[in-house]
Amino acid sequence: MKPLAIKRLLDENLKNDPFITSYDREKEAYRVADKQTKKGITVSLNPLSDKFKKDETKALEEVLHYIREGVSAMSSSVGVMGKEDKIFPVIRSTSFPEETSEGVKLITTEHTAESRIYYALDLGKTYVLLNEEHLATDHLNQKQIEEAALFNLRSLDAPMKTDTVAGNTFYFVNMNDGYDASRILNDALLKHMNKEAKGKLTVSIPHQDVLIFGDIQNERGYDVLAQMAFSFYAKGTSPITALPFMYEEGELEPIFILAQRKPKD
């Protein structure tokens, strides 16, 4: 389904909600904001095309839930003090805005050339990204937010499903709790996976709701990895990057896979 068709479908389903909607044709971005506060969220529609084509009813239900919960969270006045155990890091593409629609700077930390870390206060069904106003109101600093987020992240389970393709093993974390990709920041988890790997360990965060580890044991594995990362990237509601990373000596290095050949050192 084309983005414009998705936009019309969303318009029809949101016509009775207290929202203001707008559409940027060039960016294929759908903006939804609360009529009173004018605060809201922007949804990129192009990455949703495959989801709607595969199962329109399920995709529509997921996006409407995401929009309604997101606008509600953005419109609510939330305090952080006393809720430090509900703060978690979230990974976004570097193209994601670094400030709110009102021009308030969001709290961020650099991650890779492809991704950036934001910080969220978990509200149960959704979360709100923290900004400078939240810190000023509760007299907190960014270091406190970062430390709380990473501490809380380590408490999250990371059960995995496995799949073996052409002699290479892939591990998928897909809890759908909003922090699947964020688990890439758990150093202990990455070190454990690296220790267990028989070949080279790769890590992929194609979108918010999946983390993929690859135990690459032959050249064919890199081709599979590239195709897999791109496929997940194209289907994600919050895409991050289709570029996989090699994990070596505690560092993430992007892998450029061309002409179906293993990347050269």
* Three-state SS letters, 185-217: HCHHHHHHHHHHCCCEEEEECCECCCEEEEEEC
40, 57, 75 - which closes a domain: 75
Distances (CA, A) of 258 to 114, 159, 187, 205, 263: 18, 32, 29, 19, 8
| Full pLDDT tens readout for the chain, 265 residues | 899 999 999 999 999 999 999 999 998 989 998 888 788 888 889 888 888 988 899 889 988 988 887 787 666 656 788 889 999 999 999 988 898 777 889 999 999 998 999 999 887 767 888 989 888 888 889 999 999 999 999 999 999 999 999 999 999 999 989 899 999 999 999 999 999 999 999 999 999 999 999 999 999 999 999 999 999 998 877 889 999 999 988 899 998 865 444 444 4
Asked if residue 38 belongs to a domain, the reply is: yes
Asked if residue 207 belongs to a domain, the reply is: yes
pLDDT the model gives residue 246: 95
75, 108, 133 - which closes a domain: 75
Both 150 and 179 in a single domain? no
Amino acid at the residue 234: A
Both 140 and 216 in a single domain? no
Both 91 and 142 in a single domain? yes
Asked if residue 103 belongs to a domain, the reply is: yes
pLDDT the model gives residue 207: 94
d(CA 34, CA 26): 23
Both 194 and 231 in a single domain? yes
Both 31 and 85 in a single domain? no
d(CA 137, CA 143): 16
Both 123 and 170 in a single domain? no
Both 68 and 86 in a single domain? no
127, 155, 183 - which closes a domain: 155
Phi, psi (5° rounding) for residue 24?
-100, 105
19: enclosing H helix or E strand: strand 19-24
Asked if residue 263 belongs to a domain, the reply is: no
Give Dmax over CA atoms of the chain in angstroms. Answer: 57
pLDDT the model gives residue 73: 66
Question: What are residue 251's DSSP bridge partners?
Answer: 248
Closest by CA to 127, choosing from 72, 50, 57, 58, is 72
Asked if residue 261 belongs to a domain, the reply is: no
Q: Environment class of residue 130 by beta-carbon count within 10 Å: exposed (0-12), middle (13-18) or buried (19+)?
A: buried
Task: Give me the number of domains the chain comprises.
Answer: 3
Both 68 and 84 in a single domain? no
Residue 151, classed as helix, strand or coil, is helix
Asked if residue 265 belongs to a domain, the reply is: no
Residue 241, classed as helix, strand or coil, is coil
Both 96 and 132 in a single domain? yes
Question: What is the domain range of residue 37?
Answer: 1-75
Both 214 and 234 in a single domain? yes
Both 65 and 83 in a single domain? no
Which residues, at least 6 apart from 251, have a Cβ–Cβ distance to it below 8 Å?
Answer: none
Are 93 and 116 a contacting pair, CB within 8 Å?
yes
Asked if residue 35 belongs to a domain, the reply is: yes
Both 63 and 110 in a single domain? no
Asked if residue 264 belongs to a domain, the reply is: no
pLDDT the model gives residue 78: 65
Q: Environment class of residue 148 by beta-carbon count within 10 Å: exposed (0-12), middle (13-18) or buried (19+)?
A: buried
* Cβ neighbours, 10 Å, residue 80: 21
160: tokens are: 């995995």
d(CA 147, CA 122): 16
Are 100 and 106 a contacting pair, CB within 8 Å?
yes
